Structures are given as structure tokens and as C-alpha cells.
Structure 1
Amino acid sequence: MARRPEPDPTTWWARYGHRLEGPPVTNPAQPPAPEVPRPELPRSEAPRGNPGAAAADLREDTMLRARPDRPRTGWRRALYDVTGGRVNPGPSDAEELRSGLLARVRAPLAGAHRVAVMSVKGGVGKTTVAACLGQALAEHRGDRAVVLDANPDAGTLADRLTGDSRITVRELLNDLDSVGTWTDVSRYTSLAGRLQVLASEQDPASGEAFSRDEYERVVDLLGRFFNIIITDSGTGMVHSTMQGTLARADSVVVVGAPTVDGAGRASKTLDWLVAHGHGDLVRDAVVVLSCDRRSAEVDAARIREHFVQRVRGVVEVPHDPHLATGGRVDPARLRPATADAFLELGALVADAFDVRRRD
């Protein structure tokens, strides 16, 4: 039998020599390359670590592998629970939207932000909007929020939120010079969840004495203890308190309705603000369309488009049987669509928190 020829060592080393472990293997047919000495760098020039790599580069969101959030409602939650989390379909689009709104509502805020809720027409849900906006912001933030009833005609804000209007802004005004701590302030407010409520004077004759100067003194005091101050304004635009409200406001919420008179009055409110030098507030305003009253004969889309072109945001609050009673507002009894609308309103208001506050 013929013997198999011996393999060429040059070819064998070229093909398989690199697979051997240990020091680099050279082709025996070639002499090793001479070793070139590596120059040593001075200590001042030696390569070092990156001193700019701070501990912030090891944040939790950079160290943990991304995984879908846990669903909280519906069949997605049921599937997640049944499988012990092994099957995670992730949150629904509605949950993602709500999470985004919550993140906006919780925007950081330095100092105090003052929101005026207003309408020249009564009966469109202005007080309801002020109450629900205050609750949405207070319940989902960690700072302090207060809603002030500045209606000179015996406002009902405290009745809608706490049912306690025994102590009012009038008592606070009388004792203003002696109020110096959070405990002092809390004696004049009632509590609706995490929202503090300051009632208006219940005697209309006395309420007329709530002047611009007094309003500004109260709001300035509240600004020392609260991050968010919401004012439920009266329906008149020319009374003294309204002048003080606009002078101190950082943003405004104008309430209307998708009806001929409700939308027309809301638009005229914006016209009045522009005519009296508050164009900046109008450009940054949010319009709320309360849909308790609506008709198929009215082009609601046309009304919405009108306000979209004039202000920063528009929110439609759907009809809600709980709010329609006119009684105490309980957030737990709101329909989900209603709660989402007020959460959207809170997000739009909070979007302005990073804007420089007006003097």
C-alpha cells in the first residue's frame, strides 16, 4: 500500500497553528520577528482612567436591563397574574397614555404657581373644574396645593369639596399679621384628600369687601406655604378681586361649554383678557369645555378648533352623573373618562411649571 505523503509543515502551520493555546506560535519555516522595545511614557503622560466618568453614569436605568412595565388593568393584568409574571403583555395604550399624563402632572416646580379658573358666564361648571383640577394635582404630586374661593357672591367651592365653610378667607384676613407658620395657616383651611380648601365669605354683603389688595395679600401669604394656588374666580371681570387675580396669575383656565352661549362667552373672555393687556395669559391659557350641556345641532368639532387656534390647550370634560348632582365631589365616583379629562387638564397646567414666572 502506498504511503500518504507527509504534509507540508508550512501549509499546516498557516492553517492550524493559530488554534493552539499558549504563547503565539510562529511558522517554523520563518524566523521570528525581532522584538521592538516599547518606550515607557513619563508618569505625567501615562494613560489613565476617565476622571469624568462620575457615579451618575451608573444610574439604575442604565444598569438594569429594559423590561416591559407590569400591566395594571384588564386582561393584560389577569394574564400577568395567572402566569406569575412569566407572560407580560405590557401595559395597554390607555395605560401608557395615563402614565405619560402622570409624569407631566408631577413636573418639578420651584416656588409657587398661581392658576386662575375663570368664566364670565355662570352655570358652565367653573367651580367644578377648579375643584377637580385641585384634586388631580394634589393627589398625584408630593407638594402642597390649595384652592381659594374668591367669588364675592358666597361661592360654593368649600361646599363642593369639604362641606365646611365655617371658617373663611375673611377670618384669615383679620388674623393675617399673626399667621407665620404652616400650623397657623391650616387653622383656616379644610381638607379634601390632600387638597387644602380656603372658603369664601358666605355673606354676599361682606364679600364685596374682599378687594384687590386683600386678595393679593392672601395669595402672597399662601405662596409662602403652598406650591400650587388655584383661584376659583367670580363670574364678573371688572370687580376688584378679579383684577388682583389676574395681576397675580401665572396661568389661567377658561371654562366654557360646547353650546352657542357657552362657547361664545368663553371666547369673549379671551377677547377681554387680550384687550386689557393679558395677551400672554391667553396664549398660555387652557380652555375647558364642560359637556354637561351639548346638542347634536352644534358643531362641537368647530368649537374645539376655534379654541385650539387661540390657546395652548383644550380639554373636553364629558358628562358625568356624579358631577351633575351638584353635590360633594368624590374623585372615586367619577367615571374613568372624566377622571382622565381632569388628569389631562392637570398635565396641561403643569406643562407651564418650567416657564419663567411672571412678575
Structure 2
Amino acid sequence: RATRTLRRTLSSSAAREVAEVTRTATVLQQPVTTGRQIAITSIRGGSGKSAVAALLGTTYVHYRRDPVLFLEADPALGSLPLRLGAEALRWTTSDIADVVKPDMSLLDVTGYLVQLPNNAWLLPASRGQIGVMLDSRAYEQAVVALRRYFGVMVIDCETLPAEVARVALAASHGRVLTAPATPEGIAGTYSVLQWMQALPRRVIAGTVVVLTELVPHCGLDLDGAARSLRSTGACVRILPYDRHLAAGGPVDTGLLARPTREAAAGLAADVFQLCLPSKRH
């Protein structure tokens, strides 16, 4: 009897896992008529923002057939190029604003971008130089020029309340707010979500909070913290500690722990679901 019970339990668990994988793939592979803009930001540095952006974009590249663009809107020596393993950086987000014209083809446009593995490209915010500026006009002009070429644009923004980050959040189809899984990070994020409740409902309804575990076994009640944050109307996901991500180098999905891969896929599906027209408010 014990053996039969174990078999039924394992069979039920496997069936749920297959169903979840199928649901995730179905959501992530839905066609879109125009490029979906997904902005990732945080309220403080060191929350794993660029790592989350790299994980999200890499997941979309894996599941989708249309091209994916990683756009960096954090000129203060952001770490997205490092996380993506990009070395040669020529053009920046500010440069591209006045370069891309409506009559250009995808091949023309990608000549100004950093090619990544598979069907993905990167547009960095700087060339590793200190003091590079990116204003909201240049950002908006670059996004408008590029969005028709890519099915998904993953935008790694500055921390709030920077101007470009606020512009990106307002204009995006989906928003990701990363927060370190610490008492200060959770409290600060709750305050930001309360502020967002005063904005049009689509803003917080289209926001996913990612609590990132920066150390193993942080000792916090993350499920309780997630429930508290969800009470504001936002979706919440927990990204577990991962030794590979913590190393700080290029993200290699083959080196991620299984819980991290599953969390990244679930996060990508949640965000993309919010980006679809039927979910807009």
C-alpha cells in the first residue's frame, strides 16, 4: 500500500509539473502584434536587477521565435552587458535615438546592436564610461524607433526615482520591481507599492515584484512577506539564492539550479501574461 501511495504521489507531482511547463510555454509563445516593452527597475542598487533582466530576456529568447532586444537604460556603469557576456560595445541608447529611420530593415538596425546568441541583441547605455547621460527624450526616441523590430524589449532601468526609470515604467506593457529579500528591501518595496496604488490601476496591476534572495537561508518569512506585498494588488515572485547568479558574471542558464530556472520561467510567464492586450486595464 505504501508503494502504491508513493507511486500515485509521484505520478500526481509529475503531472502537475508537466501541466505547469505546458502552461508556461503556452503563455510565452503567444504572438504579439507590436513589441512588448518590459521595464525592470528597483528602489536601491544591489537587488539583482540586471541579473533578473538577463534571466527574463534569456527565457523569452528560449521560448519565442521573434527577435528579443535587451535595452539598457542605466548609463551609470550598469552590469547588463556583463551579465549577458557582451564584450564589444559600440553604439549606445543615446546614440541610436537619431540613427534609426522608419525605412530601415531589421538587418540595418541590428548593425548598430550587439549580437547575442540565438535571436537576441543588446543596446547598452554606455561603453563603460563614467558620466554618460541618458535623458528621457533620447530614451523615448530610441524605444519608439526600435520597438517595431522586436517581439519583446527587456529594458534594464536605473533605480527609482530616476527620471528615465519613471518614464520607462509608465510607458511599458509590463513592469518588474526587484527588491532584496531583506527587512529594509521588503519595507521599502511595500511603500513604493502603496504609492503606486494612487496611480492608474493598470500600473500596479501590470507590476510583478521579485524578491531576490542574495544569501542562502536568509531567515526571513518570505511567504509572509510575499502575501503582504500582494495585498497591494501587485503580483509577487521569489527568486531563490543561486550560487551561479551570486558570482556576478555572465548568466549561463545551464549552470543555474533547477529552482532558479523554474522561478525564472514562472516570472517570465507572469510578466508576459500582463503584457497581453486582454490583461491591460
Paired residue for 2:124? 199
Paired residue for 1:169? 93
Once the two structures are superposed, residues 157-191 of structure 1 have per-residue CA deviations (whole angstroms, 9 ceiling, x without a partner) of 11110322522223323523497221121122221
Which of 246, 255, 259 pairs up with 1:333? 255
Paired residue for 1:11? none
Q: What displacement does 1:307 show?
A: 1.7
Q: 1:89 to 1:203 in 2, by over 3 A?
A: closer
Does structure 2 retain, via aligned residues, the 8 Å contact 1:250–1:281? no
Task: Give the AA of the match of 2:267.
Answer: L
SS of the residue corresponding to residue 289 of structure 1 reads strand
Which of 200, 205, 208 pairs up with 1:286? 208
Report % sequence identity.
Answer: 24
What runs of 5+ residues in structure 2 fail to find an aligned partner? 1-6
Once the two structures are superposed, residues 87-141 of structure 1 have per-residue CA deviations (whole angstroms, 9 ceiling, x without a partner) of x999643233212211121122221211111101110101100110011012101
User: CA–CA distance in 2 between the matches of 1:312 and 1:297?
Assistant: 24
Paired residue for 2:29? 106
Paired residue for 1:229? 153
SS of the residue corresponding to residue 205 of structure 1 reads coil
Task: Give the AA of the match of 1:196.
Answer: W
Q: 1:311 to 1:138 in 2, by over 3 A?
A: farther
Relative to the length of structure 2, the TM-score reads: 0.86
How many residue pairs match? The answer is 269
Task: Give the AA of the match of 1:323.
Answer: L
Once the two structures are superposed, residues 305-352 of structure 1 have per-residue CA deviations (whole angstroms, 9 ceiling, x without a partner) of 012222342211111111110001111111111111010011101212
The structure in which a higher percent of residues are helix is 2
Paired residue for 1:216? 140
Q: What displacement does 1:142 show?
A: 1.4
Paired residue for 2:55? 132
Once the two structures are superposed, residues 228-280 of structure 1 have per-residue CA deviations (whole angstroms, 9 ceiling, x without a partner) of 1111111131x3312331332112111113210121222233234345x3542
Q: Which has the larger radius of gyration?
A: 1
Once the two structures are superposed, residues 139-166 of structure 1 have per-residue CA deviations (whole angstroms, 9 ceiling, x without a partner) of 1011221111100312111111032252
Does structure 2 retain, via aligned residues, the 8 Å contact 1:213–1:244? no
User: CA–CA distance in 2 between the matches of 1:258 and 1:142?
Assistant: 34
Does structure 2 retain, via aligned residues, the 8 Å contact 1:109–1:353? no
Does structure 1 retain, via aligned residues, the 8 Å contact 2:206–2:280? no
Paired residue for 2:246? 324
Q: 1:165 to 1:270 in 2, by over 3 A?
A: farther
User: CA–CA distance in 2 between the matches of 1:101 and 1:356?
Assistant: 17
- With CA pairs under 8 Å and 6+ residues apart, which has the higher RCO, 1 or 2? 2
2:196 is aligned with 1:267 = no
User: CA–CA distance in 2 between the matches of 1:249 and 1:89?
Assistant: 38
| 1:35-54 alignment, distance < 5 Å | none
CA RMSD of aligned residues (A): 2.6
| 1:237-256 alignment, distance < 5 Å | 237=161, 239-256=162-179
User: CA–CA distance in 1 between the matches of 2:206 and 2:95?
Assistant: 34
Does structure 1 retain, via aligned residues, the 8 Å contact 2:73–2:164? yes
Which of 184, 198, 219 pairs up with 2:108? 184
Task: Give the AA of the match of 1:204.
Answer: I
SS of the residue corresponding to residue 75 of structure 2 reads coil
Relative to the length of structure 1, the TM-score reads: 0.68
Does structure 2 retain, via aligned residues, the 8 Å contact 1:257–1:294? no
Which of 45, 51, 66 pairs up with 1:122? 45
Paired residue for 2:4? none
Does structure 2 retain, via aligned residues, the 8 Å contact 1:151–1:233? yes
Task: Give the AA of the match of 2:123.
Answer: L
Task: Give the AA of the match of 1:258.
Answer: A
Which of 33, 47, 67 pairs up with 1:144? 67
Q: 1:345 to 1:230 in 2, by over 3 A?
A: same
SS of the residue corresponding to residue 20 of structure 2 reads helix
User: CA–CA distance in 2 between the matches of 1:224 and 1:114?
Assistant: 11
Paired residue for 1:306? 228
